[in-house]
């Protein structure tokens, strides 16, 4: 079958069936990070690959921002499990025309974020390549009970941290080169270039064992919610009017309206489910977490699918579900 028909997630599922599960694997392919045993305890492991021309364009991304982002997206996957990142392996494919100053820039971005979160780069690999390629693998410490995508129950509330759609709108605006600069635009661009891994919020939630399921939003709210629903065998109803939007997004979304907030990727906010009796405890975390936590919907029986409704309860059609690297309509 062509990869364009199989899609990214069909392909991953196929790979999952091809590899055998070895000893000590508590959680293998299919979540934000793997969870594996070792003689002294257990670790979380995650990897992400960024490719020039696919994930970034050096015409509008600085190398320092790119370094930051390549680590941030991995830290975000550790956050999605409720873990604490510790070590990174960083592999590079570098075009021949690059010089050492450019690599200094890349590492400046990586080091800034690594230092902030106590992460050490402990190795990697370097090779010549046709275009810039950055592969990062991060190892982290799990909380007492890592939070998987698969634990949500019918009736659980659905929450997100921060605001939605900023990164995707920021990218859409970056592509429109002739737009006037404004503080709102700078804010959205920053959200695209330098996403914040929500490690502090995730650790607070995990310590209190509040989420029943969690994922980070890399491919868009609806798509990533779909992953939780599939893994947990539940459906979901999302209230569009509850989706948290930044002032910058409201000011600049224009015709895009809610599209980026529902289906735009790369916000790297946390999306999680929690039992409804935990509402008060989660509201209290709003002040501690350093980022807003908004309740946006509820888990439904699996037959419900994933629905978005407006304030009157009427279903809203969502055109694009989210990002898939392979799938073509
Ligand atoms: P995320 O968006 O959280 O980074 P992905 O959608 O990239 O997650 O991956 C989903 C799951 O599939 C993860 O558990 C990841 O480790 C696994 N995965 C992705 N690509 C491969 C591959 N080529 N081989 C094995 N596992 C893979
Ligand atoms: Mg993820």
Look at ligand 1, atom 17, and give the residue with the nearest C-alpha: 29
Determine the pLDDT at residue 320: 62
Q: What is the pLDDT of residue 289?
A: 87
- Mean pLDDT, residues 48-52: 97
Nearest to 258 by CA among 173, 317, 175, 329: 317
Rounded distance from Cα 16 to ligand 1 centre (Å): 9
Residue 34 half-sphere exposure toward CB, CA atoms < 13 A: 17
The residue among 214, 207, 268, 200 whose CA lies nearest residue 81 is 214
Q: pLDDT by residue (tens digit) across 185-244?
A: 999 999 999 999 999 999 999 999 999 999 999 999 999 999 999 999 999 999 999 999
Closest to 139 measured CA to CA, from 251, 262, 44, 30: 44
- What global pTM score does this model have? 0.95
User: Could you report the per-residue pLDDT of 257-271, keeping only the tens digit for each?
Assistant: 899 999 999 999 999
Residues with CB under 6 A from ligand 1: 12, 15, 29-32, 48, 77, 218
User: What's residue 326's pLDDT?
Assistant: 67
Q: How far apart are CA 253 and CA 271, in angstroms?
A: 22
Q: How far is the CA of 220 from the centre of ligand 1 (A)?
A: 16
Q: What string of H, E and C letters represents the secondary structure of the chain?
A: CCHHHHHHHHHHHHHHHHCCCCCCEEECECECCEEEEECCEEEEEEEEEEEECCCECCCCCCHHHHHHHHHHHHHHHHHHCCCEEEEEEEEEEECCCCCHHHHHHHHHHHHHHHHHCCCEEEEEEEEECCCCEEEEEEEEECCCCCCCCCCCCCCCEEEEECCCCHHHHHHHHHHCCCCCCCHHHHHHHHHHHCCCCCHHHHHHHHHCCCEEEEEECCCCHHHHHHHHHHHHCCEEEEEHHHCCCCHHHHHHCHHHCCHHHHHCCCCCCEEEEECHHHHHHHHHHHHHCCCCEEEEEEEECHHHCEEEECCCCCEECCCCCCCCCCCCC
pLDDT-derived band at 175, boundaries 50, 70, 90: confident
CA distance 141 to 86: 7
pLDDT of 324 > 90? The answer is: no
Q: What is the mean pLDDT of the chain?
A: 94
Supply the Cα-derived Rg of the chain in whole angstroms: 19
* Kind of pairing between the strands at 315-316 and 235-239: unpaired
Nearest-atom number in ligand 1 for the CA of 224 is 2
Q: Are 83 and 74 in contact (CB under 8 A)?
A: no
Nearest CA to ligand 1 atom 24: 15
More confident residue, 286 or 213: 213
Residue with CA nearest ligand 1 atom 10: 30
Tokens in use for 305?
Answer: 């699918």
Higher-scoring residue by pLDDT: 18, 319: 18
**Residues of the chain above pLDDT 90, percent:** 82
pLDDT tens profile 61-90: 999 999 999 999 999 999 999 999 999 999
Residue nearest ligand 1's atom 7 by CA: 48
Q: Which of 12, 14, 54, 226 to mutate to test the pocket of ligand 1 (most atoms within 8 A of CB)?
A: 12
The pLDDT, as a whole number, for residue 13 is 86
The predicted model gives 123-152 an average pLDDT of 97
Alpha-carbon 250 to chain mean position: 22
pLDDT at 244: 98
């Amino acid at each position: 079958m062509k990869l364009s028909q199989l899609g990214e997630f069909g392909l991953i599922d196929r790979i999952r069936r091809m590899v055998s599960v070895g000893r000590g694997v508590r959680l293998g392919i299919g979540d934000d990070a793997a969870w594996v045993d070792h003689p002294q305890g257990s670790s979380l492991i995650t990897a992400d690959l960024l490719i020039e021309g696919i994930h970034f364009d050096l015409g509008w991304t600085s190398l320092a921002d790119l370094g930051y982002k390549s680590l941030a997206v991995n830290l975000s996957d550790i956050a999605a499990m409720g873990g604490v990142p510790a070590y990174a392996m960083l592999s590079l494919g570098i075009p021949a025309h690059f010089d050492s100053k450019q690599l200094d820039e890349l590492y400046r971005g990586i080091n800034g974020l690594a230092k902030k979160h106590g992460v050490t780069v402990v190795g990697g690999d370097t090779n010549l390549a046709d275009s810039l390629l950055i592969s990062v693998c991060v190892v982290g410490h799990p909380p007492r009970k890592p939070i998987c995508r698969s634990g949500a129950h019918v009736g659980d509330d659905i929450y997100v941290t921060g605001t939605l759609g900023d990164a995707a709108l920021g990218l859409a605006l970056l592509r429109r080169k002739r737009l006037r600069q404004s503080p709102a635009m700078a804010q959205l661009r920053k959200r695209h270039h330098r996403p914040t891994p929500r490690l502090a919020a995730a650790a607070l939630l995990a310590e209190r064992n509040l989420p029943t399921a969690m994922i980070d939003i890399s491919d868009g709210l609806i798509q990533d919610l779909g992953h939780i629903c599939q893994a947990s065998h539940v459906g979901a109803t999302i209230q569009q009017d509850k989706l948290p939007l930044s002032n910058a997004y409201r000011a600049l979304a224009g015709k895009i309206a809610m599209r980026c907030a529902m289906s735009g990727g790369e916000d790297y906010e946390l999306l999680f489910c929690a039992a409804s009796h935990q509402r008060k405890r989660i509201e209290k975390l709003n002040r501690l977490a350093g980022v807003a936590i908004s309740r946006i919907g509820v888990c439904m029986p699996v037959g419900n699918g994933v629905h978005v409704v407006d304030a009157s309860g009427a279903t809203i059609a969502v055109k694009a579900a989210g990002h898939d690297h392979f799938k073509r309509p």
